[in-house]
Amino acid sequence: MPVSNHDLLEAWKQVLTLSGLGAGHAVTVLTGSHSNEQTASAAIAAARALGARVTRILLEPVNAEKSLSRDPLAYLGSTPLTGNKVAMAACLASDFVIDLMLLLFSPEQQEILAAGTRILLAVEPPEILLRMVPNEADRLRVKDASVRLQAAREMTVRSAAGTDIRFALGQYPVITEYGLVDEPGRWDHWPSGFLFTWPNEGQSEGTLVIDSGDILLPAKRYAADPISLTVRGGYVVAIDGGLEAELFREYMESFEDPEGYAMSHIGWGLQPRARWATLSLYDREQTIGMDARAYAGNFLFSLGPNGEVGGTRHTPCHIDVPLRGCTVSLDGEPVVVNGVPVP
């Protein structure tokens, strides 16, 4: 559905107000050739209405010749900010960066955050933003869950489809995503509503089964038949199944990087306004699949980098897979039962 400029402006005002943006703050809006113009206009108007000084930067795209996919999350590492001293100076001098382009998992993003600048990413189309405007309840739900995840030393995940895996925890911090940048140096993504951490290096053991109907990202498809991933010592060592497994293997091999097979972030979805079915209603070009990552009760696992939390793995390969119907337990206590979050 089309979104009115008024509704999108009000949504941005809510997000920026809950994020603490106020009079006199410096805001840099990062845009690229694929940024949504209505979103950019609304973000700028909202920041101005709250009294901020706004600078908009238009950056050139990168990595097109390296990536097999059009999805902006499919190839990580260098970004349009890499080596761009002028744009970096603007971001480092800002209180807020509104990222309408997608800087995820880059050293430049870490440098900007370390300077105390807040970064809010928003690249889904306006109607998805509007359906999932972050609110205080989203923040509390994710924060509450993060206390339990931070204290846990083991996560186990099982499903009727055959997933049975154990992750040792404690080496890496917990990341919360609820769509608000309510403290200095915080990064977040609107829309979201989930949390995750990384397993200890080398300490993931078991089997992950991607069942038919589970969503593959960045492929942005529903798997037609099951894929079984065998995980040993923190790495996927076997990918078994039919056509889907073949496609998965071929895509992974294209990066020619053994580190792409490492277990990356693991966590679960807590956003009741996100839907598993939404992806079936969109062209793949229209979304990056945040509904799939956030829908309540999914177990989201990832393969690839851990540089975002201080690890040394900076592989460009990045796979996200939200699984349905899992029971996720922390130190033996379930937080999700058969794909439904424990209240």
Binding positions for Fe ion, rule: CB under 5 A: 302, 320
**Nearest distance from C-beta of residue 301 to Fe ion, angstroms:** 9
Where does residue 128 fall: left (phi above 0), alpha (psi -120 to 50 degrees), or beta otherwise? alpha
**Nearest distance from C-beta of residue 302 to Fe ion, angstroms:** 4
Q: Which parts of 247-331 are beta strand (E)?
A: 263-269, 299-303, 319-323, 326-330
DSSP class of residue 113? Answer: H
The residue (of 141 and 265) whose beta carbon lies closer to Fe ion is 265
DSSP class of residue 204? Answer: E
**Nearest distance from C-beta of residue 17 to Fe ion, angstroms:** 28
Q: Which residues contact 89 (CB under 8 A, 6 or more apart)?
A: none
The residue (of 126 and 297) whose beta carbon lies closer to Fe ion is 297
The residue (of 95 and 124) whose beta carbon lies closer to Fe ion is 124
- Dist CA 177 CA 35 (whole Å): 21
User: How big is the CA angle at 77 (ends 71 and 82), to the nearest 5 degrees?
Assistant: 110
The residue (of 28 and 271) whose beta carbon lies closer to Fe ion is 271
The residue (of 126 and 269) whose beta carbon lies closer to Fe ion is 269
- Dist CA 121 CA 153 (whole Å): 30
**Nearest distance from C-beta of residue 155 to Fe ion, angstroms:** 16
The three-state DSSP-derived secondary structure of 319-332 is: EEEEECCEEEEECC
**Nearest distance from C-beta of residue 111 to Fe ion, angstroms:** 21
**Nearest distance from C-beta of residue 4 to Fe ion, angstroms:** 32
The residue (of 211 and 320) whose beta carbon lies closer to Fe ion is 320
Cβ pair 169, 200 in contact under 8 A = yes
**Strand, helix or coil at 222?**
strand
Q: Is 213 buried (19+), middle (13-18) or exposed (0-12) by CB count in 10 A?
A: middle
The residue (of 12 and 301) whose beta carbon lies closer to Fe ion is 301
**Nearest distance from C-beta of residue 250 to Fe ion, angstroms:** 20
The residue (of 126 and 304) whose beta carbon lies closer to Fe ion is 304
In 3D, which of 262, 285, 281 has the Cα closest to residue 222?
Answer: 281
Cβ pair 117, 187 in contact under 8 A = no
The residue (of 159 and 302) whose beta carbon lies closer to Fe ion is 302
State the distance between the two ends of the chain, measured CA to CA, in whole angstroms.
32
Cβ pair 91, 187 in contact under 8 A = no
**Nearest distance from C-beta of residue 320 to Fe ion, angstroms:** 4
**Nearest distance from C-beta of residue 42 to Fe ion, angstroms:** 27
Cβ pair 97, 91 in contact under 8 A = yes
Q: Is 62 buried (19+), middle (13-18) or exposed (0-12) by CB count in 10 A?
A: middle
